Structure 1
Amino acid sequence: MFLCLKRTMGGYGLPFPKLNFPIEPTSAARKAAHKQRYVLDLYWPKRKIDVEYDSDSYHASSEGIASDAQRRNALQLMDVTVITVTRGQLYNAASFDRTARIIAASIGVRLPKTSQRWISQKQMLRYVLLKNETKTERKGNST
């Protein structure tokens, strides 16, 4: 939502990607990763840009890290650029902003100059969308 909502709502105004987009690997990619199919989190097909959210639950284990590396390598063989967003990036406003700008540039979107109004709208959107998670994190950190 952060990426595609209009700027007036606190988003970045990027075009909507394909969600959970299935893609069949080329024969070279299939050999590299032994997969018959990938499902891409957020995919902009014209630019071959895939944004993957790496959650802490699966992607932090050594098996998850190895699987993610194989997957990225296979997608690279198909000329798909993978941009990873971690939980830390998502929940840190400055880090997410840097990542969103990388995504925008990668899909060929030039973001307008930052205004104080947009910054306020982004802060409000982050509060609304992440408030329950933030409360959960605070409870977890206080024990």
Structure 2
Amino acid sequence: MNAVVPIPERSRWVTGRSHLRCDLIWPDERVAVEYDSTLCHTGAERIAEDAARKDALEALGFTVVTATWKQVENYQEYNRFAKALAKHLGTRARPVCSEYPARQLALRRELLG
């Protein structure tokens, strides 16, 4: 979480920066997740900054997957997002026990209130 992605000097033209920070990253798979909350990612300037960061990550060879509050808050949307992310990672999201759905809902209630 919040991992630093160093930008090689030959690629700094993309952002003018030496590194970027990703919300979640799988460096070996070249997949990054950016969470665009409604609190911190609204307004023209912030949207432009987010787009530039995503473009830079893609120029470095990363697949960037964006999560929104709706996808986190809504159980069905969250599961769709998890399946799409798993596909980008070359795996499947598989429950390992029969109580998985109940445990997942309980954890969501605890985390999201």
Structure 2 CA distance, aligned partners of 1:123 and 1:23?
Answer: 33
SS at match of 1:52: strand
Q: Which runs of 5+ in 1 are unaligned?
A: 1-18, 132-143
Structure 1 CA distance, aligned partners of 2:96 and 2:79?
Answer: 11
Residue 116 (structure 1) shift:
6.6
Q: CA RMSD in A?
A: 2.1
Tell whether the 8 Å contact from 1:26 to 1:78 is kept in structure 2 after alignment. Answer: no
The number of residue pairs the alignment matches comes to: 113
Residue 80 (structure 1) shift:
0.8
Aligned match for 2:34, one of 46, 49, 52: 52
Residue 112 (structure 1) shift:
2.9
Bigger Rg, structure 1 or 2 = 1
What is the identity, as a one-letter code, of the residue corresponding to 1:91? E
Q: Which has the higher helix share?
A: 1
Structure 2 equivalent of residue 138 of structure 1: none
Cα pair distance change 1:83/1:74, threshold 3 Å: same
Tell whether the 8 Å contact from 2:82 to 2:93 is kept in structure 1 after alignment. Answer: no
Sequence identity (%): 31
Cα pair distance change 1:97/1:114, threshold 3 Å: farther
Structure 2 CA distance, aligned partners of 1:62 and 1:35?
Answer: 21
Q: Which runs of 5+ in 2 are unaligned?
A: none
Structure 2 equivalent of residue 61 of structure 1: 43
TM-score (norm 2): 0.87
Structure 2 CA distance, aligned partners of 1:127 and 1:121?
Answer: 10
